[in-house]
Amino acid sequence: MSQPKYEAYETAIGKRKFVDDLFLDNMLFAALKFSDHPKARVLSIDTSKAEQVKGVHRVVTAKDIPGHKKVGLIIRDWSVMIAEGETTHYIGDVLAGVVADSDKIAREAIKLIQVEYDVLKPATDVFEAIDAKRIHPERPNNFETTQFMIGNADEEIANADFSAKGSFETQRIEHAFLEKEAALARPDASGGIELFSQSQGVYEDRRQVAEILNLSEDKVRVTLVPNGGGFGGKEDLSVQGHTALYAFLIQKPVKLTLTREESIRLHPKRHPVFMDMQLAANKDGKLIALKLRAVGDTGAYASVGAKVMERVAGHASGGYFIPVIDIEAKTVYTNNIPCGAMRGFGANQVAFALESCVDEICEKAGFDRWQFRYDNALVDGLRTSTGQAVTGVGIRASLDAVKEEFQNAKYAGIACGIKNSGVGNGMKDESKVKIEIIAENKIRVHHGWTEMGQGVHNMALQTLCEETNFDPDWIEVVVDTNAQIKTGMTTSSRATALVGLAIIHAAKSLKEDLKTKTRADLVGKTYLGEFVCDWTSKPGDGVENPIIHYSYGYAAQVCILNDAGEVTKFIAAHDAGKVMNPMLFEGQIEGGVHMGLGYALTEDLPMKDGYLLSDRMRDLKILRAHETPEIVVKAVEVKDPVGPYGAKGIGEIGLVPTAGAVANALYTFDKIRRYKLPLKR
């Protein structure tokens, strides 16, 4: 059902508060001093003038950190602050923080901090960086490699009836979420800290903040303040660690909010990826082999970059069955801004290359572009490029949904997509929930997933209502680490499935009680539920029947141009397994397509020698509302064997095929094959 989005009305009228709307008694304000250079040895940091400014309470540097000085989601390599004698890694490194009576005073004092540098040459070319001096001396090298093979791709390609190849390049992209990074922290009476966070993982915030402060995790409480957009850009610790540190040291509430320019400078972006791809087919119209060599610029810190490039590798064959593959994907450190999670998470980069090659083969061989895709599409039992056999595959159903409009258009491009649900790759996917019966008509649901506009609170609420027939108005949804239901990052299109399955598990005992008792009888009771997926493996591990992810989503998209070569209509057919909320489903796909069109056509965040060419939002070239074409969303439902009621994740796949569809549409118009994003430069 299209249950209205949780707190939609309060958000729309400005009643619901974001982090920067929160104010506490005796609250102070913080600002950060960033590195002036992407790579430089910090010889000295003189804070004396800043300390003399009236209203400044303290200037904090790396020497004041009581615990770990480096944090990270997977690898602990990200410096909270760079100390004297250490070397900066990118322009977003923090050297010092000022805490003052007002944001204005803090920022004025920051300008007075004097830093002496020994400026060094940064490594900014990703190919040169592979074998350059190590960005992080403690790391074994500047890169990680994902590699796997099935058969002999070189031999198959050399003997193929038809083949296509190209060197493809995708660009760095800023998330451009509406709400900038902000955090608020205050000390508690037990020597711990309470943090109000907008991040995509409050339990990960708790872990890393505890490490910085040298506290046990039970001394750190993190409360989620649902944010104004994330798209992956709020996975990594940004200002939460600094804010908690300053409040802990001063023993007063502290709030830290970035400017838009600081936000663009600090947080990780979408990876620029360079891909050499070869694809081959036989005269019968069947794909027979794929070879890919991909290199991704992960920037100064690991973030989740290696996992993004694993997805590039694992999604290289897209929604098609290709029996012979040879895949290598490198994740490379540079002194550029870090790159990490962003909607699509590597699948969209490689889909652009793959779908372009598919169209080129069709042109060379005279194959119908729709039929060729349909004939080669994955179906139940066939395997992805990682060797995983899939079930519940809706690619052919998605292609059927767009067939007529594609074939009737004068200028049109088509592309298919596949996107995993869950982190998988040998890592654990888990979700826990608590259902508290507060009163006869008040039920509180605790989970660990971040609400950032996508509607995960709805998924928890609606699943509970489906299981129990409770009135949605009775239900309150809370995300707070005090609940002690550890959950990972809200990423990988997994929250709907994992929270839904955990709610279903918790509801079993609740439903049993409701057979003999009233809700009033159950007041004070708590029901626990969980779902754990710990049966996946990493690509290339040599497992006989690998399961890389517990589930996948599927799609087919069509881009239609007018006689001037402009995008006028976009059709997106997506297999959601089971549409949990039709309104939110349509909005999610529309938003994904809009973001994908900007990525395909105009958006960019260029750097030179480790510096941004612009840190202004208006220079990102995001598509504005009037530049957005008509978007037609079509729901396809091919049930998933794992997801709740057969549901699949759809948060990311909305833009996975988009750039490929646009590139192929433009080729039909002007016969120019494009190998680099954005397509309109």
Phi-psi region of 26 (alpha: psi -120 to 50; beta: other; left: phi over 0): left
Domain end residue (candidates: 482, 502, 533): 533
Please write the tens of the pLDDT for every residue from 291-300.
999 999 999 9
Q: Within this chain, do residues 527 and 582 fall inside the same structural domain, yes or no?
A: no
Q: What is the CATH number of the domain that holds 63?
A: 3.90.1170.50
7, part of any domain: no
625, part of any domain: yes
Domain end residue (candidates: 215, 232, 257): 257
Domain end residue (candidates: 212, 227, 257): 257
Strand-pair category, 162-169 with 78-79: unpaired
Contacts 24+ apart (CB under 8 A), 537-543: 537/425, 537/426, 538/310, 538/425, 538/426, 539/146, 539/148, 539/310, 539/313, 539/314, 539/327, 539/386, 539/425, 540/146, 540/147, 540/148, 541/426
6, part of any domain: no
CA distance 360 to 357: 5
Residue percentage of the chain with pLDDT more than 70:
100
Q: Within this chain, do residues 188 and 86 fall inside the same structural domain, yes or no?
A: yes
The helix or strand, by DSSP H or E, that contains position 485, with its residue range, turns out to be none
Tokens of 432: 């826990």
Burial of 237 (0-12, 13-18, 19+ CB in 10 A): buried
How much is the pLDDT for 544? 87
pLDDT at 239 over 90: yes
Strand-pair category, 287-299 with 551-561: unpaired
619 to each of 338, 465, 605, 612, how far by Cα in Å? 20, 45, 8, 11
The β-bridge partners of 222 are 195
1, part of any domain: no
Q: Report residue 540's pLDDT band, with 50, 70 and 90 as the boundaries.
A: confident
Q: ∠ CA 51-57-58 to the nearest 5 degrees?
A: 60
Please write the tens of the pLDDT for every residue from 627-653.
999 999 999 999 999 999 999 999 999
Please write the tens of the pLDDT for every residue from 337-372.
999 999 999 999 999 999 999 999 999 999 999 999
Helix (H, G, I), strand (E, B) or coil at 592: helix
Q: Report residue 593's pLDDT band, with 50, 70 and 90 as the boundaries.
A: very high
CA distance 661 to 406: 11
CA distance 637 to 152: 36
The β-bridge partners of 79 are 70
**What integer best gives the mean pLDDT of the chain?**
97
The residue-averaged pLDDT of 521-541 equals 94
* 182-187: strand order across its sheet: 56-61, 94-100, 28-34, 254-257, 182-187, 193-197, 220-224
Residue ranges making up the domain that contains 51: 19-120+181-257
Which amino acid does the sequence have at 585?
A: F
pLDDT at 1 over 80: no
Please write the tens of the pLDDT for every residue from 35-89.
999 999 999 999 999 999 999 999 999 999 999 999 999 999 999 999 999 999 9
Q: What is the CATH number of the domain that holds 487?
A: 3.30.365.10
Q: Within this chain, do residues 73 and 220 fall inside the same structural domain, yes or no?
A: yes
CA distance 529 to 505: 5
Helix (H, G, I), strand (E, B) or coil at 483: helix
Q: Within this chain, do residues 418 and 460 fall inside the same structural domain, yes or no?
A: no
Q: Within this chain, do residues 528 and 546 fall inside the same structural domain, yes or no?
A: no
The β-bridge partners of 96 are 33, 61
The residue-averaged pLDDT of 486-510 equals 95
614, part of any domain: yes
Tokens of 591: 């938003």
Please write the tens of the pLDDT for every residue from 546-563.
999 999 999 999 999 999
Q: Within this chain, do residues 192 and 101 fall inside the same structural domain, yes or no?
A: yes
The residue-averaged pLDDT of 449-454 equals 93
Q: Within this chain, do residues 328 and 383 fall inside the same structural domain, yes or no?
A: yes
How much is the pLDDT for 610? 98
Q: Within this chain, do residues 591 and 562 fall inside the same structural domain, yes or no?
A: yes
* 630-636: strand order across its sheet: 411-421, 551-561, 567-575, 630-636
Q: Within this chain, do residues 366 and 452 fall inside the same structural domain, yes or no?
A: no
Q: Within this chain, do residues 525 and 456 fall inside the same structural domain, yes or no?
A: yes
131, part of any domain: no
Q: Within this chain, do residues 152 and 199 fall inside the same structural domain, yes or no?
A: no
133, part of any domain: no
The residue-averaged pLDDT of 386-406 equals 97
Q: Within this chain, do residues 442 and 324 fall inside the same structural domain, yes or no?
A: no
677, part of any domain: no
How much is the pLDDT for 588? 96
State the total domains in the chain: 3
Q: Report residue 411's pLDDT band, with 50, 70 and 90 as the boundaries.
A: very high
CA distance 298 to 300: 7
| Separation of first and last alpha carbons in the chain | 42
The residue-averaged pLDDT of 475-485 equals 96
